[in-house]
Amino acid sequence: MTLSTRRQAKRAARREARRALPLWRRLLPTWRVTFGTLTLLLLLAAGGFAVLYVIVPVPDPNAHAVAQNNIYLYADGSTEIARTGAVNRTDVTIDQIPLPTQQAVVSAEDRTFYQNRGIDLKGMLRAGWNTLLGKGMQGGSTITQQYVKNYYLTQDRTIERKGRELLIALKVDQQRDKREILAGYLNSSYFGRGAYGIQSAAHAYYGVDVSGLTPAQGAYLASLLQAPSLYDVKTATPANREKAVARWNYTLDGMVQLGFLTPADRAATTFPDPIDPQPATGLAGQAGYLVGVADDYLVSSGTLDAATLKAGGWRITTTFDKPRQDAFVKAVQDRLTGELDPRTRPATDTDVRVAGASVEPATGRVVAVYGGPDYAKQPYNDALRQDNQIGSTFKPIDLAAGLLAQHTLDGVPITTESRYDGSSERPVTGGPTPYAPPNEDDVDYGSITLRYAMVKSVNSVYAQEGVDAGLARVRETAVKLGIPDSVRGMDPANTSMTLGTATPSALDLAGVYATLADHGQARTPWSVVKLERVNPGGAIDVPKMPEHDPTEALDRETADSVTDVLRDVVSPRGTGAAALDLNRPAAGKTGTTDSNLSAWFAGYTPELATTVGLFRENPKTHAKEPLAGTAGLTRINGGTFPTRIWTAYMAAALDGAPTQDFDLRTGHGTPAATPWPTAPAGTTPSATTPTTAPAAGGEPAHADPAPGTPPGHEPGTPTATGRPAPGPVTPSPQAPRPTTEPEQPSPTPRPSQVQPTRPTAPPSATGGPASRPAAPPTP
């Protein structure tokens, strides 16, 4: 039998054997067919890759090398706010960049840079797997790939762009030296503060040429590459500052791992605080603050990433209304700046700062903000900072939570007319930490309703009511209304949370009160209407803007019941009486924090919700300083300058608009069936005794909202003497203020005592420079 015959016989035998197999088995390909198919596919893939590698060239640098401006417009779509975005970049050679800085960048961004061939398949697979596991979008790009994307391509997130990036990265790695690639990456990367390239970043963050960077400074700049705007510790929120420092530590630990840094030098390295941000050209006056709010919204909402935004070319139509913005500035100048005399009172009338924001309740549009007097002189946006406690402007949240709970933990109903013991320094019962907050001027109010306690901002009542509602429910209500869950001072483990240790920004707080004004419908405040960019080829980018559908934070009856109570605050007997000059239906709440470190008024009409905060800050250390003595006044309350500024602004902002009344559907005003038990004067109304007695004069002596430490007391309006018999308080209409009626009837003040001075809080880095929440407040 010949060789050919034997082969034919074997093939025939295999065919016969296959015919004998079950049908399902015959349908499966043989190993020979499978192997051949896979080999063919691999050959085709390799051939296709080879063809693409040849035909895809390394392109010329992209148009980003040509500076473009971002144009910011007011809501009318034509009036210009500012032009920004000119690329701030000065290229340097790799020899000008200190070796430790180069090594820090490799440690932070691509630890296989010196070994890989331009791409890292293992890193890409790991990033993809982590993304599938729900650990967030993960990046597996090498430094070479990021350089290619920045210098040759675009920031578009498409499969086609990613494929070109991989091919070009391979070519660039073959054609360029690693040092040349690293220099190109460092010259083209965005570091925040409008700085492109390592040289501009060195000037922006440390005021030195790149050659003068220390290893610690170089490691911080390397850490910024992951999230440049969020990781700027001078403007970051407390949470983002912690992330930035963690990223810096990750970078240094990687340098040790790669052999670039010894463990001893690592241990001796301390975090290098950068200098304060310097104002950008063309952002003087209010422009820089408005641009900051718009940029913050675009990045935080995910509409654009920071690098794409700063690349320039965008035409950005904001929600800001120029007449209202001008009115806010004028109100601050007329009602506060004109009253200050720094020459005569340099110790108290300097460094006084205002934070303000105004939001449309029905839409969530930010129509005006006040971030400071002039961005060129003060490049910190006080409207966005999250390091000032809001004091008693938090009490409406306590009330809302109580109305939602419907009854105390003991089953006693909670309504707006529920009666509580308003004795000053009454120990709170049932709280997680001992707490006995004093009232304003240590006044005893006796048995009063929750409504009256809001009108007079009685601390002892709302400290207890918040505990009765449940501190976890209070926190949940605050977050639903619009206070970010990441701000400090919102820990249900501290009883003092009830009196406003939280530190939301003025814009955050305006969003909370806008939710109350819109019957419990919450919208995150937003500040950009339209975004478009014309590309060099003529195509127009129009990114999809976020939706602004509301969520129900409170049911309407609850929200409207809170509004009904807050209308009484803006009445002749309330702490917000100065707002009666608006001559429109209004609701609001004053707030003054411990040691008079800040004062607030947050209020609204049916059309507009606005917050105004006042504080002092040392310009060098950024420590908070008391407001006492400002403009010659012994104490600055939420009912003074903040309310006056609010009233002047709102009068101008609503000038010419028809007066609207509140359309309220209340359902929580029925007096409680069982009144809250009160104790006779001079007795202890609770079995719980605080472990730390309040300081003399009713103001607690403490520096931080630690467990068991009480916030301060609400500075309100002047106290009248005498105490009428306690009883239910009937809501008063919004009528002209009688000139003969005392501002504070009924309470009985205790004998005054000397109050100790609390220490000033240390500096911190939220929203510009700032500090940890200084001692818990109230009002």
Q: Which helix (H) or strand (E) holds 533?
A: strand 528-534
| Residues 294/525, Cβ–Cβ less than 8 Å | no
- CA 43 distance to own-chain centroid: 53
Q: Residues 6 or more apart from 681 whose CB is under 8 A from it?
A: 423, 444, 446
| Residues 715/596, Cβ–Cβ less than 8 Å | yes
d(CA 743, CA 721): 11
Using DSSP's 3-state secondary structure scheme, residue 519 falls into coil
d(CA 411, CA 468): 10
d(CA 700, CA 437): 8
Tell me which residue of 90, 86, 80, 82 sits closest to 68, measured CA to CA.
Answer: 86
Query: E strands of 699-752, at which residues?
Result: 748-749
d(CA 205, CA 190): 13
d(CA 583, CA 602): 17
Using DSSP's 3-state secondary structure scheme, residue 64 falls into helix
Q: Residues 6 or more apart from 263 whose CB is under 8 A from it?
A: 256
Both tokens of 362, joined, read: 């029905």
| Residues 357/744, Cβ–Cβ less than 8 Å | no
| Residues 523/364, Cβ–Cβ less than 8 Å | yes
Scan for tokens 């009338």, then name that residue: 349
DSSP 286: T
Annotate 154-195 with three-state secondary structure.
Answer: CCCCCHHHHHHHHHHHHHHHHHCCHHHHHHHHHHHCECCCCE
List the end-to-end C-alpha distance of the chain, in Å, as a whole number. Answer: 108
Using DSSP's 3-state secondary structure scheme, residue 609 falls into strand
Q: Residues 6 or more apart from 331 whose CB is under 8 A from it?
A: 645, 646, 648, 649, 652
d(CA 247, CA 242): 9
Tell me which residue of 69, 68, 72 sits closest to 316, measured CA to CA.
Answer: 72
Q: Which helix (H) or strand (E) holds 206?
A: helix 198-206
Annotate 378-444 with three-state secondary structure.
Answer: CCCCCCCCCCCCCHHHHHHHHHHHHHHHCECCCCCECCCCCEEECCCCCCCCCCCCCCCCCCHHHEE
Distances (CA, A) of 388 to 200, 268, 509, 610: 32, 33, 11, 17
Phi-psi category of residue 731: left, alpha or beta, with phi > 0 → left and psi -120 to 50 → alpha: beta
Both tokens of 118, joined, read: 């331009």
Hey, which residues are catalytic here?
A: 109, 392
Scan for tokens 């070009």, then name that residue: 168
